[in-house]
């Protein structure tokens, strides 16, 4: 399957990503860029987006970037630091890049920026690469 | 302010926690237990809850547990491993406990279980403890 | 092989552990306690032990605790926070305990204390459990 | 003080770095490159370098890179993944780069390569930036 077909298999019928309003603006083997706009119901009692919003966007970018190679990849450990507040109306962009990949494991950094200017979160994720492959009519 | 008053100050007018359906069932200095039930719109394309749901619940438990001491605490780094799938209808419970606390930093483990039986996620978080205090009429 | 035989297979002919002066004081499936005394050549320019000393002791405790089940276990990710300074002459104790274990992965916390009183480091490690087993005449 | 003077203040009278055989080959604000050669006494029972060796080199690179700005920086959390075995005789190179820096915190990635070819370890570190400055005759 092509990276696009794998993304489609992952994103179609994904209610949470629809709630987040996720859009994929770039996809290639080992990398993925997602965007979403923060809405008032994603914010917490301090007028800023809950940390779970940046995490969710980054975690999805990790999943898509790591599965584009055609091998099933599942998350093992993910770390996130929230480096600047995110507010309702902000446009978030999450760019996942591959730091390392071996037969069984791969590691990614996802940088989440707000409004194309400030770093909102820095995310690192490790995935386990199964032996099974994404398969389907488009392969 | 008491731990309960601090929790109330954090949870009141918190739209995202209301969307998650978060309920606090236990609160004491350095610890906090939260519960929420997974709904279909929290799941992804694989019929399981998005990793962001467990993260959000654990991150809130970290925030509440670390702020109960009366000093403002902000997250520095958070790590989560998703150890078992979570499905729509599952009742999640997140228990935050304090591993270490010094003047400026404190560290917590949050165990997220599903339906009181299996570990769904293991979360570790580090917070920076500011010099400012929670203040209000209830202190 | 028994946990003791596995430990012996790992520690025998281990020059770095001998340089560290590592002694194992407790071993059982999923747990391990190691001790070592900090010497002047383990300290850095600030009169305190280099962070690599606590890390090395904790990483060894992780390796021994995770391999005691008889299945080969290899480290995937390790995290350490240095929570108090360690000085030459301090006796370090590293206690590894198992937080979670599934077929392919297991997670451990290692608490490193100095002189049995203060927490010097808090370590978390994730291992991948191979399908291969420790084998030998003692099994 | 200049970055070089700060490095000198940290490395002079540092017995552990001398034991490791650390050499600094590049230093500039926010970045640092260190090198060291693995000796037999740094290996463990499997004929490969103990994970503590790569950690120690990376942790020193973090310390030097984060202190070059002239403000005292102390480690908060460090994470390392050992991605390929390191053997006696291998020349290790650790390159620290700055991922993010704000007033109080900064985050770095350290890539440790063996013999200039394969990635041996991937390290991420977060430091707290104190208000105190490195001071001395060379500033």
Reported pTM: 0.96
Q: Is residue A96 scored above 50 in pLDDT?
A: yes
Note whether D75 and D125 are within 8 A (CB). Answer: yes
Predicted confidence band of residue D9 (pLDDT cuts 50, 70, 90): confident
User: What pLDDT is stored for residue B139 in this prediction?
Assistant: 40
Q: Does an H or E element contain C90, and which? A: none
CB-based burial of residue D137 (10 Å sphere; 0-12 exposed, 13-18 middle, 19+ buried)?
Answer: exposed
Count the neighbouring beta carbons within 10 Å of the beta carbon of residue D17.
23
D49/D51 Cα distance (integer angstroms): 6
Calculate the average pLDDT of chain A: 94
Q: Is residue D71 scored above 90 in pLDDT?
A: yes
Instruction: Give how far C139 is from chain D: nearest CA, Å.
Output: 20
What would the mean pLDDT of A46-66 be, rounded to a whole number? 95
User: What pLDDT is stored for residue B25 in this prediction?
Assistant: 97
User: What pLDDT is stored for residue A139 in this prediction?
Assistant: 40
Q: Is residue D137 scored above 70 in pLDDT?
A: no
User: What pLDDT is stored for residue A138 in this prediction?
Assistant: 44
Q: Does an H or E element contain D87, and which? A: none
CB-based burial of residue A88 (10 Å sphere; 0-12 exposed, 13-18 middle, 19+ buried)?
Answer: middle
Interface residues of C toward A, Cβ cutoff 8 Å, are: 76-77, 104-105, 126, 128
- Collapsing DSSP states into helix, strand and coil, what is residue D111? strand
What would the mean pLDDT of B49-65 be, rounded to a whole number? 97
Q: Is residue B80 scored above 90 in pLDDT?
A: yes
User: What pLDDT is stored for residue A135 in this prediction?
Assistant: 86
User: What pLDDT is stored for residue C138 in this prediction?
Assistant: 44
Whether residues C128 and A77 touch (CB distance < 8 A) is answered with: no
Span C11-26, pLDDT tens digits: 888 899 999 999 999 9
Instruction: Considering only the beta carbons, identify the residue of A100, A107, A122 that sits closest to D107.
Output: A122
Q: Is residue D30 scored above 60 in pLDDT?
A: yes
Span A64-89, pLDDT tens digits: 999 999 999 999 999 999 999 999 99
Nearest CA in chain B to A77: B81
- Collapsing DSSP states into helix, strand and coil, what is residue D17? helix
User: What pLDDT is stored for residue C11 in this prediction?
Assistant: 87
What would the mean pLDDT of D51-58 be, rounded to a whole number? 98
- Collapsing DSSP states into helix, strand and coil, what is residue D102? coil
Helices (H) then strands (E): counts for chain B: 3, 6
Q: Compute the radius of gyration of chain C from its Cα atoms.
A: 15
Instruction: Considering only the beta carbons, identify the residue of C19, C45, C59 that sits closest to D10.
Output: C45
Span D87-124, pLDDT tens digits: 999 999 999 999 999 999 999 999 999 999 899 999 99
User: What pLDDT is stored for residue C73 in this prediction?
Assistant: 97
Tell me the ipTM for this assembly: 0.95
D68/D10 Cα distance (integer angstroms): 11
Span C88-98, pLDDT tens digits: 999 999 999 99
Find all residues with CB under 8 Å of B8, minimum gap 6, and list them: none
What would the mean pLDDT of C45-72 be, rounded to a whole number? 94
Predicted confidence band of residue A128 (pLDDT cuts 50, 70, 90): very high
C42/D15 Cα distance (integer angstroms): 7
Q: Is residue C106 scored above 60 in pLDDT?
A: yes
**Lowest-confidence range among A46-50, C35-39, C53-57, C101-105?**
A46-50
Find all residues with CB under 8 Å of D62, minimum gap 6, and list them: D75, D78, D96, D108, D110, D123, D125, D127
**Can you read off the two tokens belonging to residue A17?**
């990503």
Any idea which architecture D3-133 has in CATH? Roll (3.10)
Whether residues B122 and C99 touch (CB distance < 8 A) is answered with: yes
What would the mean pLDDT of B28-49 be, rounded to a whole number? 93
Cα distances (Å, whole numbers) of residue A40 to A34, A47, B13, B57, C110:
20, 8, 11, 18, 41
Who wins on pLDDT, D5 or A139?
Answer: D5
User: What pLDDT is stored for residue A12 in this prediction?
Assistant: 84
Span B90-121, pLDDT tens digits: 999 999 999 999 999 999 999 999 999 899 99
Whether residues A52 and B16 touch (CB distance < 8 A) is answered with: yes
Whether residues D100 and A83 touch (CB distance < 8 A) is answered with: yes
Which of chain D's residues have a Cβ under 8 Å away from the Cβ of B76?
A: 76-77, 105, 126
What would the mean pLDDT of C43-64 be, rounded to a whole number? 93
User: What pLDDT is stored for residue D103 in this prediction?
Assistant: 95
Find all residues with CB under 8 Å of B117, minimum gap 6, and list them: none
What would the mean pLDDT of D40-44 be, rounded to a whole number? 94
**Lowest-confidence range among A2-11, A31-40, B61-70, C76-85?**
A2-11
What would the mean pLDDT of D8-23 be, rounded to a whole number? 91
User: What pLDDT is stored for residue C137 in this prediction?
Assistant: 54
Q: Does an H or E element contain B85, and which? A: none
What would the mean pLDDT of A93-122 be, rounded to a whole number? 97
What would the mean pLDDT of A40-48 be, rounded to a whole number? 87
Interface residues of D toward C, Cβ cutoff 8 Å, are: 9-17, 19, 40-46, 49-53, 55-56, 59-60, 75-82
What would the mean pLDDT of C29-43 be, rounded to a whole number? 97
> How many percent of chain B have pLDDT more than 90?
86
> How many percent of chain C have pLDDT more than 90?
86
Span A5-31, pLDDT tens digits: 999 988 888 899 999 999 999 999 999
């Amino acid at each position: 399957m092509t990276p696009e077909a794998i993304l489609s298999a992952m994103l179609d019928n994904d209610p949470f990503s629809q709630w987040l309003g996720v859009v994929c603006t770039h996809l290639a083997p080992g990398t993925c860029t997602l965007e979403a706009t923060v809405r008032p119901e994603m914010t917490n009692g301090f007028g800023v987006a809950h940390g779970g919003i940046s995490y969710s966007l980054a975690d999805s970018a990790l999943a898509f970037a790591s599965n584009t190679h055609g091998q099933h990849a599942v998350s093992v450990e993910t770390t996130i630091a929230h480096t600047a507040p995110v507010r309702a109306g902000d446009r978030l962009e999450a760019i996942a890049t591959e730091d390392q990949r071996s037969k069984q494991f791969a590691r990614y950094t996802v940088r989440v920026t707000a409004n194309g200017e400030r770093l909102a979160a820095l995310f690192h994720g490790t995935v386990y690469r199964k032996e099974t492959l994404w398969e389907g009519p488009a392969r």
